[in-house]
Amino acid sequence: MLRAHLTASVALIVIARTALADGDPDLGKRQFAQCMACHTVEDGGPNKVGPNLHDIFGRKAGTLPGFSYSDALKNSGIVWDEAKIDEWIKKPAALVPGTKMAFFGVANDQARANIIAYLKQATK
């Protein structure tokens, strides 16, 4: 029983990682449109209600100079990678209780994979 549960868990992890790897950046750009009300992605882009996301991958959460983050995010210890960004986009308040980000999240796994694929291109 335990072996079957572990095998199923590993399979879900592989599927999730494959979905992230298979994101469509063109679709992701369109799906990111809802995020553009609060975020910019270009180098030197301004902070809005949310921080500029340029160079987000590998950045420690809550550290972009010039943006006022919640204490919860600053103290989260998160370093943004695909997996953490996926968790964040899915439901920010679940990943970091007390965050100031007033966004319910994106429930669709493929949409999140697409957004992440877009961010990987647009923010470097």
pLDDT score of 76 more than 60: yes
Domain count, the chain: 1
Residue-level pLDDT at 58: 98
Indicate which CATH number applies to the domain containing 75. 1.10.760.10
pTM of the model: 0.82
pLDDT score of 50 more than 90: yes
Mean pLDDT of the residues in the chain = 89
Residue-level pLDDT at 3: 60
pLDDT score of 87 more than 50: yes
Tallying the residues shown for the chain, one arrives at 124
Residue-level pLDDT at 1: 55
Residue 41: name the closest of 112, 117, 122 by CA.
122
- Split at pLDDT 50, 70, 90, the class of 32 is very high
How large is the average pLDDT for residues 26-55? Answer: 97
Task: Of 12-21, 51-60, 86-95, 114-123, give the lowest mean pLDDT range.
Answer: 12-21
Separation CA 49–CA 108 (nearest Å): 24
Residue-wise pLDDT tens digits, 97-111: 999 999 999 999 999
Domain that holds residue 92: 2-122
